[in-house]
Amino acid sequence: MSARMNMFDNPVAAKVWKHIIAANKAITDSSLPPATQELVKIRASQINGCGGCLDMHTKDAAAAGETALRLNLVAAWRETTVFTEAERAALELTEQGTRLADAAGGVSDEVWANAAKHYDEDQLAALVGQIAVINAFNRGNVINRQPGGSYQPGMLG
């Protein structure tokens, strides 16, 4: 399997991805915990079926010290005891923010309020940004059929 196009060789695509990558940099520079950032990226990528992003973010999380147990349980986080209450709130917000078409009201007030109990306003802004950015990456990669499997931790900076 190979990608339909190289998104960094095409001048238009490269401009688009440059801006999305810059948005992601604002999130990585925020006070939102790095482990939470990776969990959000992994969960959204699972929902969206993005092999390229799952390959990248599970490997980057493992390289940063995330345990195999937690990585293996992200998809079933509700039925586990390995995630903090704050991480659970972030994962719920991620699911509702990723599955917008599944619920007429989008993200519920209850889910937002739960996240707001665990994260300050700057962290919430980063969390919302992370959900939006990873969904953009997922959609681009799925449309382009970007395969997973060959990523090495840190190779894209």
> Is the CB of residue 134 less than 8 Å from the CB of residue 116?
no
What parts of the chain have a pLDDT lower than 70? 157
- Over the stretch 13-55, which tens digit does the pLDDT of each residue have? 999 999 999 999 999 999 999 999 999 999 999 999 999 999 9
pLDDT of residue 7: 86
Specify the CATH number of the domain 31-144.
1.20.1290.10
pLDDT of residue 128: 98
Work out the number of other CB atoms within 10 angstroms of the CB of residue 78.
11
pLDDT of residue 82: 98
Taking each continuous run of H as one helix and of E as one strand, the counts in the chain are 7, 0
pLDDT of residue 22: 94
Q: What is the mean pLDDT of the chain?
A: 95
CA distance 107 to 94: 9
Q: pTM of the entire structure? A: 0.95
Work out the number of other CB atoms within 10 angstroms of the CB of residue 143.
10
Nearest to 123, CA basis, from 61, 50, 34: 34
pLDDT of residue 157: 66
The residue assigned the tokens 């972030």 is: 90
